[in-house]
Chain A
Amino acid sequence: MFESLSSRFTSAFGALRSRGRISNSDIEATCAEIRQALLESDVALAVVDSFVASISEKSLAILPTLQSGTNQGQVIFEIVNAQLIEILGGSARRLRFAKKGPTVIMLAGLQGAGKTTLAGKLAKFFADQGNTPLLVASDLQRPNAVTQLQVVGDSIGVPVFAPEVGNGVGDPVKVAQAGIEFARAKQYNMVIVDTAGRLGVDEDLMKEAIRIRDAVTPDEILFVVDAMMGQDAVRTSQAFLDGVGFDGVVLTKLDGDARGGAALSIASLTKRPIMFASTGEKLSDFDIFYPDRMASRILGLGDVATLAEQAKKAFDSDTSAKLEAKFVSGEDFTLEDFLEQLLAMSKMGSMSKLLSMLPGSGAMKKAIDNFDEGEIVRTKAIVESMTPLERRDPKVLNGSRRARIAMGSGRAVSDVNNLVDRFAAAQKMMKQVRNGGVPAGMPPGSPAMSAPKKSVVQKKKSKSGNPAKRAIEEAQ
């Protein structure tokens, strides 16, 4: 996602950063590069031109005021970053909840944008936060869209209101209306109305969407857009805005290699924020869209904030506290701890997804894409085939124990040896870190790492009741 755009930006800024003193023509060259990169990413020409003009104007204005000692490339970079965040909608907007009665969310969009799947993801997202959503099947057009919604609802344990079987039969307006009444009677606090996909140019269907809107008076109308969409995003989003109207945008299929230019175009032209993004096939692959984080990703800074959040979700506090205490008290990190970490990590999602959130991941894109997720499963199998004693003290691992482990995990003895060796190296590195040294082999600040991470690094004041944890926090 956004990778190609990201690598183009990285190369444009790499050239700029290497200059001590930046001239006007350097800025022009960088702007031309950015223009080409945005066009290749399906950003609408009007948006590209205003974006580039604004960057060039701001950069040229600020250039004479910069003293020769400052990192001029960095200043320009920050201008672009700020502009990108602005174009992506500023700060993330939260969903507006109704003051009274159920909050009604209506989904609209083209065929195949992913509305029905998204309805399920949205329902799961809010149900996980303690809401009680009801899904309403108002797509009576596409064959078996109703069945699809029912299957999705079943799998996440959210009820589906579907009085009509669909397949062209039934009145979607009546269904939507009855759905709201049903939700009110049964005290659901949220209703998500799935509607039929329609083309921007199809007036009849647009009128139907308007009638649904008027019947249910939604608190939010979300426009669902495929991240792979091209230049037609401009016309289509305008047609929807003029037709049924919408309050926010949801991006789907952001896990493809699409450059997501449509997102930039729509956010910029319609002035409606992108509120959510869906990033995978699983119903949990869905999150709030953060413009600043996305700008970071586009500019190759990674998305450490999201990574940290996911880590927090996956690693329960007990495990982390235990580990920290161990670390501080000087105890050895054992294979048992390692196994726990592996399990928690697999809860966070695929390894390649996690890696792609790291700064500088654009450069490792190929390696990340080819990451063998099975490696984690195999490693887990090896550790799980060990006895508790072996996990605590790998030194006891003699030839016959290793052979047994290999048999038990279905791997070769050399795989077991490899794991034990790598683990020993990691253990050694942790000792070094604890003693205040910098482990060998870590580059002292690669260019990607020296980039600004203002929005990302947040130091929390120590409030921990755990003395060991507080000691660490205070030491920082």
Chain B
Amino acid sequence: MGLFSKFISKIKGSDSFSPADWQELEQELLASDLGPTLTRTLMEQAKKVKSENAEAALTQILTEQLSSRSREPLMNAHGMSVVMVVGVNGTGKTTSVAKLASTFKGTGGSVLIAAGDTFRAAAVDQLQTWGDRIGVPVISGKANSDPASVAFDAAQEAKGLGVNYLVIDTAGRLHNKSDLMAELEKVKRVVEKVAPVNEVLLVIDATTGQNGLSQAKIFTESVHVTGIIITKLDGSAKGGVALAIEKELDIPIKWVGTGESHMDFARFEPALYIQGLLS
């Protein structure tokens, strides 16, 4: 039985929620990667819950931690919309870029992908393969070329072609490498010489622990993240750190990746996420 229903039934069934039960709740919340700080907040609030309306009250408590900012994709009303995808190594940026492009294409728009990961071996080929699969053209430079120049060329080409969406992939970088973060800032700056970047999406792996907070904080300081893509939610990890990010940094989760096919991608549903967190 999931934690949530167990919690509810316990509160409903008896007047006393024993210390052991509270400990179990703490353990479950921690195990979902919510982190010790948020867990403490949640525990304090949960202790005030009256038994009659426990279910609604608990959902309410968790929902309140979510950001109140809009989760709508940021788009240009007229002309080209530019989306940049950033994150640390191995979170699933390249796959997310393909999924995003495929989603945009599905709405009837024309899409172009810029393969800005010129560092990792064969990242460009990986994206090219994706592009062929979903039928979206991919612009790339040479391996180890300057990612900013690749992005700039792609932006100019996209503008020239008059496409609706340009999705820019970037190389994975650890956020504590200041030179790599400076490189990322340059990519954004250079693209904005051609067209404004409407959205910067940070890809967070659902298996990430409290380090996700640090990632979100530093990437935001550097390239002003406007939304989160949370990936690998199809595994056993619940991605609780995303809730901690929403609460702490007020950055909305916008997309969710749940598999290896380009169809396994959807807009973020707060209710579903919270349900999953506690199941």
Show the binding face of A for B, using Cβ within 8 Å: 36, 39-42, 44-45, 110-114, 117, 141-145, 147-148, 150-152, 155, 167, 199-202, 226, 228-236, 239, 252-253, 255-259, 261-262, 281, 369-370, 373
User: In the complex, which residues of chain B have a beta carbon less than 8 angstroms from the beta carbon of A259?
Assistant: 209-211
Q: A114-B89, A259-B209 are in contact. List 17 more A-B contacts (CB 8 A).
A: A45-B27, A45-B31, A112-B232, A144-B128, A147-B122, A199-B232, A226-B205, A231-B30, A232-B33, A232-B236, A253-B90, A253-B174, A255-B174, A255-B177, A256-B175, A261-B209, A370-B178
**Does B125 lie within 8 Å of A228, measured CB to CB?**
no
Q: Which single residue of chain B is at the shortest CB-CB distance from A115? A: B90
Given A114-B89, A253-B89, check contact A228 B236 (CB 8 Å).
no
In chain B, residues 143-167, which have Cβ atoms closer than 8 Å to a Cβ of chain A? 143
Instruction: Bits for B223-239, please: 1 = Cβ < 8 Å to A, else 0.
Output: 00000000010111110
Bitwise, B174-209 to A at CB < 8 A (1) or not (0) is 111111000000000000000000000000011111
Do B209 and A199 touch across chains, with their CB atoms under 8 A apart?
no
Is the C-beta of B91 less than 8 angstroms from some C-beta in chain A? yes
| Most chain B Cβ neighbours within 10 Å, of A141, A231, A253 | A231
> Are B176 and A239 in touch, CB under 8 angstroms?
no
Of all chain B residues, which has the CB nearest A283? Answer: B121
On whether the beta carbons of A229 and B234 are closer than 8 Å, the reply is no
Known: A228-B209, A230-B209, A256-B176. A113 touches B120 (CB 8 A): no
Q: List 25 A-B contacts (CB under 8 A).
A: A41-B210, A42-B33, A45-B31, A143-B125, A143-B126, A143-B130, A144-B125, A147-B126, A152-B121, A199-B235, A200-B235, A200-B236, A226-B90, A228-B215, A229-B209, A230-B207, A230-B210, A232-B206, A232-B237, A232-B238, A253-B174, A257-B176, A259-B210, A262-B209, A370-B178
| Contact (Cβ within 8 A) B130 A201 | no
Contact B236 A199 (CB under 8 A): yes
Count contacts between A and B, CB distance < 8 Å.
Answer: 149
Residue of A nearest to B124 (CB): A144
Cross-chain contact A143 with B129 (CB below 8 angstroms): yes
Bound CA span A369–B177, Å? 8
Q: Which label, helix, strand, loop or mixed, suits the secondary structure of the B interface?
A: loop
Given contacts A112-B91, A230-B33, contact A257 B121 (CB under 8 A): no
Residues of the B chain whose Cβ atoms lie less than 8 Å from the Cβ of A40: 35-36, 210
Contact B31 A141 (CB under 8 A): no
Complex-state Cα separation, A117 to B89, whole angstroms: 11
The 6 closest A-B pairs by CB, nearest first: A230-B209, A112-B90, A42-B209, A151-B121, A232-B237, A148-B122
CB of B205 within 8 A of CB of A236, answer: no
- Contact between B208 and A228 (Cβ–Cβ < 8 Å)? yes
B32 sits at the interface (CB 8 A) = yes
In the complex, what residues of B have CB within 8 A of residue A257's CB? 174-176, 211, 214
Inter-chain CA distance A73–B125, complex, in Å, is 57
A117 cross-chain contacts in B, Cβ below 8 A: 120
A251 to chain B: closest CB distance in Å? 13
Say yes or no: A39-B235 contact (C-beta < 8 A), given A143-B126, A143-B129, A258-B211.
no
How distant is the Cα of A248 from the Cα of B174 in the complex, in angstroms? 25
Closest-CB distance, B87 to chain A (whole angstroms)? 10
**How many angstroms between the C-alpha atoms of A258 and B205 in the bound complex?**
14
Which residues of chain B come closer than 8 Å to A110, judged between CB atoms? 207, 232, 235
Task: Decide if B33 touches A231 in the complex (CB within 8 Å).
Answer: yes
Rounded to whole angstroms, the CA-CA distance of A262 and B241 in the bound complex is: 15
Residue numbers in A under 8 Å from B31 (CB-CB): 44-45, 231, 234
Contact with A along B23-34 (1 / 0, CB 8 A): 000110011110
Please name the residue on chain B nearest to A371 by beta carbon: B178
Choose from A36, A42, A111, A155 the contact partner of B92 (Cβ within 8 Å): A111
The contact of A256 among B35, B88, B125, B240, by CB within 8 Å, is: B88
- Asked whether B126 lies within 8 Å of A42 as measured between CB atoms, the reply is no
Give the shortest distance, in Å, between B114 (CB) and chain A (any CB): 17
Q: Mark B258-279, 1 if CB is under 8 A from A, else 0.
A: 0010000000000000000000
Q: List, in ascending order, chain A residues with CB within 8 A of B36's CB.
A: 36, 39-40
- Taken together as a complex, chains A and B put the C-alpha atoms of A200 and B232 apart, in Å, by 11
Q: Which residues of the partner chain B approach A41 to less than 8 Å between Cβ atoms?
A: 210
- Compute how far the CA of A138 lies from the CA of B33 in the bound complex, rounded to whole angstroms: 32
Please, which residue of chain A has its CB at the minimum distance from the CB of B28? A45
Q: Which residues of A contact B212 (CB under 8 A)?
A: 228, 230
A416 to B127, CA, bound (A): 48
Task: Report B-chain residues with C-beta under 8 Å of the C-beta of A262.
Answer: 209
